[in-house]
Amino acid sequence: MINLTDEESFDSENELHFFRVLQEGINNAIRHGKADYISIQLKSYFHHVFFKVYDNGMGFEIKNENINGLGTKHMLERCRILEGDLRWFSKWGGA
């Protein structure tokens, strides 16, 4: 469950989109980055919700990554539905 104030709350459909984006980010950190530690930072600010997924995985070079995978496409589409933005930041040897 995502708990926000009444002014910032999602409807159930958008909450599911938000959850699925976050879930895929966590799954990718574990599956592709081999992370065994993940931290999620969630903030709301003026009717916007921001989240970051930090992990201790092996990282990757963004320019060399295939961001056309099905999971990534679904994340991008869900962010579009939410009128949001999705960005990746990584450093080799640890994301």
Q: What structural domains does the chain harbor? A: 6-81 (3.30.565.10)
| Interval 2-6 mean pLDDT | 53
Q: How far apart are CA 45 and CA 60, in angstroms?
A: 30
Which distant-in-sequence residues (6+ apart) come within 8 Å of 26 by Cβ? 38, 40, 53
Place of tokens 């989109």: 17
**Tell me, what's the pLDDT at 9?**
61
pLDDT tens digits along 6-65: 555 667 888 899 999 999 999 989 998 899 999 998 887 777 788 888 899 988 766 655
The CA distances from residue 24 to 18, 46, 48, 69, 91, in Å, are 10, 25, 20, 12, 19
